[in-house]
Structure 1
Amino acid sequence: MTAREPHTDTAASTAPSDPAPRPHASAEEVQAARSDTKLAQVLYHDWEAETYDDKWSISYDQRCIDYARGRFDAVAGSEALPYGRALELGCGTGFFLLNLMQSGVAATGSVTDLSPGMVKVALRNAENLGLDVDGRVADAETIPYEDDTFDLVVGHAVLHHIPDVEQSLREVLRVLKPGGRFVFAGEPTTVGNFYARWLGRLTWEATTRTTRLPFLADWRRPQQELDESSRAAALEAVVDLHTFDPTELENIAVAAGADDVQAKTEEFAAALLGWPVRTFEAAVPAEKLGWGWARFAFNGWKSLSWLDENVLHHVVPRGYFYNVMITGTKPDTGAL
């Protein structure tokens, strides 16, 4: 093994040494980030932090509690619940861990993210929900907690942002207790990412072009907001580093040292609806989309997710689905 810097545990807030969020990146910073992926991660996610929950329709009510718990149970099951202490890696606004904690998956939690803005929002969300959660700004390749600290490590849409996924999973296994489990969900498959990106681009172009027409002018966002969204999209292309074939992702986890590795995929028909819907929502003023639109989007996603799970999973190869989830455990050598 190579020598490590000492890992330190933390109190229930960001440490004084943690950097402050930078919510607005300049054009010069965006240009510099094109050749520095970790700077890009910080700039993009600090930029998105305060509006991220709205952008992705994230909430901490029963709708998203059920969604998060459904992803967890689909790949890991519910037999070992509840876990004691859980860590969310690349926490964003805390969506996955906080909703899992509300569903009874874990008693206490910790959040880490490379983005100070995301850690700030995640801790604020945890406080508002009355959950026992601490947090740190941290690199997923060098997790700042001691060996054998956590019973569970989770993440949602994070692995594809990490330069060295295998090294990060080694760190996950290091901070897990023997027999502890990791669950990562919401990762893009290679095929799914291809069609999702094209659907998003086509929807953006069609919407922004159409709303230039005079009689649709009130459906057009201010040009400044559209320009900022385009700059954010430019950074997004830099921060999304990987897509995954499910079998290759399983092999990475095994190479990192995990046991009981299993990947599952979801969202084929649901993704074909979801990506145009989300892109359209980002391109028009929020006040134009009322409760009827939200009900259409959510019920449409639910119906197509049912079709995916009950029909298409039996006939479509798993690599064609948009999302891949993976779980595994830390070897429990003491049990031998």
Structure 2
Amino acid sequence: MTASPDDRSRDRAVDASAVDDPAPHPHATEAEVEAALKDTKLAQVLYHDWEAETYDEKWSISYDERCIDYARGRFDAVAGDQPLPYERALELGCGTGFFLLNLMQGGVAKTGSVTDLSPGMVKVALRNAENLGLPVDGRVADAETIPYEDDTFDLVVGHAVLHHIPDVEQSLREVLRVLKPGGRFVFAGEPTTVGNFYARWLGRLTWEATTRITRLPALADWRRPQAELDESSRAAALEAVVDLHTFDPTDLEKIAESAGAVEVHAETEEFAAALLGWPVRTFEAAVPEGKLGWGWARFAFGAWKNLSWVDENVLKHVVPRGLFYNVMITGVKPGK
């Protein structure tokens, strides 16, 4: 006998409450990395577990006004005309909770749930939520089989997650299933095809230049310990496996519509800001922790913010949207 959709939905709900989540696994062996090169979902777990405890620092993520404004800015860019707050929101591929937790602090949602394939990321996201005093629960979960009942959430969000999912259309079908009729999804931080090309090359060139020049004796104190560089190289090998997609904005809109969404709309951002941002982030990751100091952080954020203003107010009107680095997309579950 074939299970009905309602039966499958109940099964997911039982599984979500009854199964203990696996423990984080932050240090992959060479053998595990080798196996993960042929198994993208294993690679997702190993790579993101490896990054979980340092991810916020690596990407300058915070849960204060700076990142609250950033998260609200991404949300408002594609869904800013909606009445707020949403009652219950889900973050898919939550990472450390950056997007949902800052959106909740920004008044977008009252309560939240976080899911990620990486146990390490879910652990950090829930810890961040607890530290902020936010009402959030979480599950280790595959984005292609979300472990919640139909019509559960008013809003589903994600940041830099769709490009990690093997079957994006299937995942969006699941998103629409767990949304209530009339519920909305907002995904941001996804790489465009052209943007990913130039960002990758800028990152590789910066990493190579920094690690080479810091071999000079006079710059030895700017070089990270070799063991850390080796571990970063192993993580980079996994990164090539976990980043599965880039998106043309129009094609991403078509995928969302094919999954069943209505009122679908995509926006892009970061062109000049990305040309600066990727070398800056890579340089920060290549030198010892704490070496650059607060002055550097102020410079990097200020420059990114200024170039983002140029992108939004000048370049957006003359540069084709497919050339920008990030794409954001929203859509609605029909039926309300």
TM-score where L is the length of structure 1: 0.96
Which whole-Å CA distance do the structure 1 matches of 2:18 and 2:26 have between them? Answer: 19
Aligned partner (choices 80, 87, 90) of residue 87 of structure 1: 90
AA partner of residue 146 (structure 2): I
Pick the aligned partner of 2:295 from 273, 292, 295: 292
> Which of residues 146, 151, 154 in structure 2 aligns to 1:151?
154
Name the CA distance, whole Å, in 2 between partners of 1:292 and 1:86: 37
In the other structure, the counterpart of 2:136 is 133
**Offset at 1:134?**
0.5
> Which position in structure 2 is the counterpart of 1:326?
329
Match of 2:65 in 1: 62
Could you tell me which residue of structure 2 aligns to residue 50 of structure 1?
53
Distance change >3 Å, CA 42–CA 3, structure 1 → 2: farther
Superposition deviation, residue 170 in structure 1 = 0.2
Alignment correspondent of 1:212: 215
1:175 corresponds to: 178
Is residue 10–residue 134 contact of structure 1 (8 Å, CA) maintained in 2?
no
Tell me whether 1:245 sits opposite 2:245 in the alignment.
no
Q: Indicate if the aligned counterparts of 1:9 and 1:146 stay in contact, CA closer than 8 A.
A: no
Q: In the alignment, which of 28, 38, 43 is matched to residue 40 of structure 1?
A: 43
Aligned match for 2:113, one of 92, 110, 113: 110
1:264 aligned onto 2:271 = no
Which 5+ residue runs of structure 2 have no aligned equivalent?
Answer: none
Larger mean Cα displacement after TM superposition, 282-291 or 44-53 = 282-291
For the Cα contact (< 8 Å) 1:87–1:150, is it kept in 2?
A: yes
Cα gap change, 1:66 to 1:192, in 2 (>3 Å): same
Three-state SS of the structure 2 residue aligned to 1:287 is coil
Report the Cα offset of residue 286 of structure 1. 2.1
**Structure 1 residue 113: Cα displacement:** 0.3
Equivalent residue, structure 2, for 1:17: 20
Quote the Cα distance in structure 1 between the aligned partners of 2:68 and 2:157.
15
Q: Hey, what's the Cα distance between the residues in 1 that align with 2:228 and 2:186? A: 36
Partner of 2:225: 222
**Secondary structure of 1:7 counterpart:** helix
Partner of residue 164 from structure 1, selected from 157, 167, 175? 167
Separation (CA, whole Å) in 2 of partners of 1:41 and 1:145? 21
Q: How far off is 1:122 after superposition?
A: 0.4
CA 1:45–1:3 in structure 2 vs 1: closer, same or farther (change >3 Å)? Answer: farther
In the aligned structure 1, how far is the partner of 2:103 from the partner of 2:285? 27
| Residues 1:192 and 2:195 aligned together | yes
Counterpart secondary structure, 2:166 = coil
Q: Per-residue deviation at 1:152?
A: 0.1
| Counterpart amino acid of residue 12 in structure 2 | H
**1: distance between equivalents of 2:266 and 2:125?**
27
Contact 1:10–1:136 under 8 Å retained in 2: no
> Which residue of structure 1 lines up, in the alignment, with residue 304 of structure 2?
301
Structure 2 distance, partners of 1:73, 1:296, is 26
- What is the RMSD of the two structures over their aligned residues, measured on CA atoms? 1.4
Is the CA contact (8 Å cut-off) linking 1:162 and 1:241 kept in structure 2? yes
> What CA distance in whole angstroms lies between the structure 2 residues aligned with 1:217 and 1:2?
63
Alignment-derived partner of residue 8 in structure 1: 13
**Amino acid aligned to 1:178:** P
| Amino acid corresponding to residue 7 of structure 1 in structure 2 | R
- Give aligned pairs, total: 331
Q: Hey, which bits of structure 1, 4+ residues long, moved more than 2 A?
A: 1-5
Deviation at 1:79, TM superposition (A): 2.8
Structure 2 counterpart SS, 1:8: helix
Taking only the aligned residue pairs, the percentage that are identical comes to 85
Flag the 1:170–1:9 CA change in 2: closer, same or farther, 3 A. same
Shift in Å, 1:331: 0.1
Distance 1:265 1:39 in 2: 30
Structure 1 residue 288: Cα displacement: 1.5
| Alpha-carbon offset, residue 17 of structure 1 | 1.6
- 1: distance between equivalents of 2:83 and 2:91? 18
How far is the alpha carbon of 1:111 from its aligned partner? 0.3
Alignment-mate amino acid for residue 63 of structure 1? R
Q: Is 2:99 the partner of 1:96?
A: yes
Pairwise CA distance, 1:78: 4.1
Q: Tell me by how many angstroms 1:80 deviates.
A: 1.7
Q: What is residue 235 of structure 2 aligned with on the other side? A: 232
| 1:271 CA displacement | 0.2
Question: How does the TM-score come out when normalised to structure 2?
Answer: 0.96
